[in-house]
Structure 1
Amino acid sequence: MQKITQEVMSRIEASQGSDVVSAMQKIAMQVLKDGVSCDEDFERLVGAFDAQRRTLELMRLLAGATAGVGQDKVDALKVAVDFTQETLDMGVSHVLQVIAERSIASESLRLDLDSLVKVVSDSFDGNVTFGNLNYDSLLLASLTSGFGPKLADMASGYEKTVVTINGISETFPSLRKSGDFPSDRRILLLQLHGCICFWRDRRQGVTAKLSTDIVRDPEIWDAVRSGDTNIRPMVVLSSRHDKAQQVLEQPFNIAYEKFRESISTSNAWIVIGYSFRDAPVNELLRSEFLKRSNKPSVLISTYGTDLARVAVEQAFGWGAEDGSSDSWLTISRDGASGLEKSVEWEIFMGK
């Protein structure tokens, strides 16, 4: 995240100047808690502008409904909303373009990911659901390669959408408008916070899953930043407070509802590379965990010692009065690569 953030800030500075970067940082700091920095976190830097946009839009609606407020003030607020949206589009496009460029796995890394998802999927009977928070398409590529006809994701298999990109109209799979996931696909991928491939046509209101070849073409990102296209990427990239609102919108609400349904019936939860700082995800995990009298077995895969065991317990609503968590919680601290060959995996599978 730090490297992506630094690259994003460098690109904004190269195209807009250092004063713009400085102003964006100062605005972001206004919506952050004291002592929290946005210098190494693109979500905090860019997400602040979604919060500002939502506030300004409400102010515009307030002005329009308030007696005695002239149309000139309503129009001025509309200009401010539009400018904030343009700034948000610029930041989001730079973030996702960097991710698109850097999320092309080398052969060795792809083999590690392929091995992990195959073992995870083959180790359990019935359905296996992957809830992904990353914006890249690496997990999608690995699951598609390994499971093909057994896999379903957020794109509809039968509904298509025509999207115009740089004057050329093409047909792509539509994003699901309801939880109509096929019952014959045992592997499910839910991109809870969107993906570099998820796009919406603001004028027509349609959503689609574009190909990775298209989103790795710099021209589509240049068009977003210049305002020469009506399509925009669909990702949850907001302040922590506004994420809770954004995930209530389609298609994220559909992904969350299906994910909740999946974990409510699963006795084995594997959490890989998650910092436990997304409030909507934490709420979902905690609420489903606390409902269960017989707790699911949980395997946490992290790297290093930053994520303390007590922090994980608290995230699931497990307090000191509940005693030891050894019966349900296993933590691996060596990263995801080779997780399926680790001692912790064996312990988890034995619970």
Structure 2
Amino acid sequence: MDLVALVGNGLSIACEPRFSCSSLTIGMQEKFKNLGLDGADTALRKFAEKLNNSRSIDNAFEEMLGPLEAASGVLGGLYEMASALRSSMPGNGDKILESLRRAERFSDLFYRLGSTGILELIEEVSEGVDISIPKALVEGLVEVAAPGKLTIGTLNYDALLLSAVLAIDEERRTAGDLHFAADMADGRVEMFHEVTPRKEIRGHRIRRSISDFPSWPLTLLALHGSLTWLRDTRSGDVWKFELSDIRSNPNYWNDILQSSDWKPAVIMTNQSGKASRVTEQPFKLAYEAFQERLGGASRWMIGGYGFGDECVNSVLAEVAAKRHGVNCLVVTHAGSPTRDKVEEVLRGVSSCHIYDGDLKDLLRADEWREWRR
């Protein structure tokens, strides 16, 4: 019977506490200071609060960066509207257009400074981290799913879960199983790109349709992108690059920041921004594949996720309302998310086991044994 798992940042934190949102936000603030931008984090928070009906927000980097991404899009739209009305504008129309363009570029630059800085921090923190926890979890899930298929949707930008899947896939290949694990990168479409000056690295294009996915035992879906993904701004295609190639260039993230041809392909924004971004490719494809597989699975496992993303919750709730007979296991930590929140989203699920504890101890928990029966 097929199994679908949803994994959030709690798994990364179980491997390394510095993956917490608060730690990464502090790291982003430090990067701003190192660039001579003292006070930028305070200004970002105040800007976000102003656009959020003065509701106070915490220092979560997504909430702070989201308004910048939105502002860049709005200013771009205003520039296009002003350009269309140029002939009827007052004599200073050129100055208005130039001001709008500069403001748009400023918003985009600050967003890219913050988002690229976060991805660089995640890559730095993840280097050398022991992947035994995600590897053991994936192995356990594969065992529960067998002889059916396992699909894992991850909300994490880091490559810890990917590294665990690749390690298991390599073991399977050594044992003679050549078609075990797939992710969103299409291994059939390979090309070398000069994403940084004077050096080409190998990339695989992200799949374009559900039919592109092979029917293998394990599929990993990066629902909100990955630090290994880059979008070619000229073609719009998204490519996945090897983590080893990224780490071999000490100036990689600065080069990407300066590039006009390549930019990170991740959803790193607030809730309203996420609702819009998940309708864009390749995230739309990831969500469609995730929803389709949820609907065909008899078991679900949700771990390390606080049920805070409405775009994710809506998919879970929609499928739960239609898919009867699902046996679900939810891993919470220190009572978060609450049982009420879990049951609100998964109210259609017939059986929901909740284990409140550390993900690293999940495979030894009574709730795990009860769920997998």
What TM-score do you get using the length of structure 2 for normalisation? 0.85
Aligned length: 338
Alignment match, 1:54: 73
Deviation at 1:20, TM superposition (A): 2.6
SS of residue paired to 1:180:
helix
State the one-letter code of the partner of 1:51: A
Deviations 1:103-150 (A, max 9, x none): 23544xx22221111010121132110000000000011011102431
State the one-letter code of the partner of 1:98: L
Within a 5 Å distance, the mapping from 1:139-158 to structure 2 comes to: 139-148=161-170, 149-158=179-188
Alignment match, 1:272: 303
Tell me, yes or no, if structure 1 residue 113 matches structure 2 residue 119.
no
State the one-letter code of the partner of 1:200: R
Q: 2:143 pairs with 122, 135, 153, which one?
A: 122
Root-mean-square deviation (CA, aligned residues, Å) is 1.9
Checking the alignment, whether the CA contact within 8 Å between 1:157 and 1:173 is kept in structure 2 is yes
> What are structure 1's unaligned runs of at least 5 residues?
319-324
Alignment match, 2:337: 307
Tell me, yes or no, if structure 1 residue 167 matches structure 2 residue 198.
yes
Alignment match, 2:15: none
SS of residue paired to 1:16:
coil
| Greater relative contact order (CA < 8 Å, ≥ 6 in sequence) | 2
Checking the alignment, whether the CA contact within 8 Å between 1:199 and 1:232 is kept in structure 2 is yes
Alignment match, 1:219: 251
Tell me, yes or no, if structure 1 residue 5 matches structure 2 residue 25.
yes
SS of residue paired to 1:27:
helix
Deviations 1:302-329 (A, max 9, x none): 21113210111112246xxxxxx8x511
Alignment match, 2:351: 328
Deviation at 1:62, TM superposition (A): 2.3
Aligned counterparts of 2:105 and 2:237: Cα–Cα separation in 1: 21
Deviation at 1:97, TM superposition (A): 0.5
SS of residue paired to 2:64:
helix
SS of residue paired to 2:359:
coil
Deviations 1:283-319 (A, max 9, x none): 1000011112x2411111121113210111112246x
Structure 2 CA distance for partners of 1:161 and 1:200, relative to 1, 3 Å: farther
Q: 1:138 pairs with 157, 160, 166, which one?
A: 160
State the one-letter code of the partner of 2:75: L
Deviation at 1:2, TM superposition (A): 0.6
Range with greater deviation from structure 2 (73-82 or 254-263): 73-82
Alignment match, 2:346: 316
Q: 2:280 pairs with 249, 253, 258, which one?
A: 249
Checking the alignment, whether the CA contact within 8 Å between 1:166 and 1:229 is kept in structure 2 is no
Structure 2 CA distance for partners of 1:36 and 1:329, relative to 1, 3 Å: farther
Checking the alignment, whether the CA contact within 8 Å between 1:130 and 1:190 is kept in structure 2 is yes
Structure 2 CA distance for partners of 1:219 and 1:21, relative to 1, 3 Å: same
Deviation at 1:204, TM superposition (A): 4.2
Deviation at 1:59, TM superposition (A): 1.6
SS of residue paired to 1:304:
coil
Alignment match, 2:326: 296
Alignment match, 2:10: none
Deviation at 1:169, TM superposition (A): 2.4
Checking the alignment, whether the CA contact within 8 Å between 1:202 and 1:230 is kept in structure 2 is yes
SS of residue paired to 2:315:
helix
**Percent of residue pairs bearing the same amino acid type:** 25
Within a 5 Å distance, the mapping from 1:72-111 to structure 2 comes to: 72-104=95-127, 106-107=129-130, 110-111=131-132
Tell me, yes or no, if structure 1 residue 42 matches structure 2 residue 48.
no
Aligned counterparts of 2:56 and 2:212: Cα–Cα separation in 1: 40
Deviation at 1:64, TM superposition (A): 2.5
SS of residue paired to 2:360:
coil
Deviation at 1:345, TM superposition (A): 0.4
Checking the alignment, whether the CA contact within 8 Å between 1:50 and 1:239 is kept in structure 2 is no
Within a 5 Å distance, the mapping from 1:222-241 to structure 2 comes to: 222-225=254-257, 227-228=258-259, 230-241=261-272
Deviations 1:163-209 (A, max 9, x none): 21122223311111222334341200000000000001223433211
Checking the alignment, whether the CA contact within 8 Å between 2:303 and 2:330 is kept in structure 1 is yes
Tell me, yes or no, if structure 1 residue 340 matches structure 2 residue 340.
no
Aligned counterparts of 1:228 and 1:248: Cα–Cα separation in 2: 25
Deviation at 1:33, TM superposition (A): 5.3
Checking the alignment, whether the CA contact within 8 Å between 1:31 and 1:48 is kept in structure 2 is yes
Checking the alignment, whether the CA contact within 8 Å between 1:8 and 1:95 is kept in structure 2 is yes
Checking the alignment, whether the CA contact within 8 Å between 1:152 and 1:181 is kept in structure 2 is no
Deviations 1:241-288 (A, max 9, x none): 111111111111111111011001011110011111111111100001
Checking the alignment, whether the CA contact within 8 Å between 1:298 and 1:328 is kept in structure 2 is yes
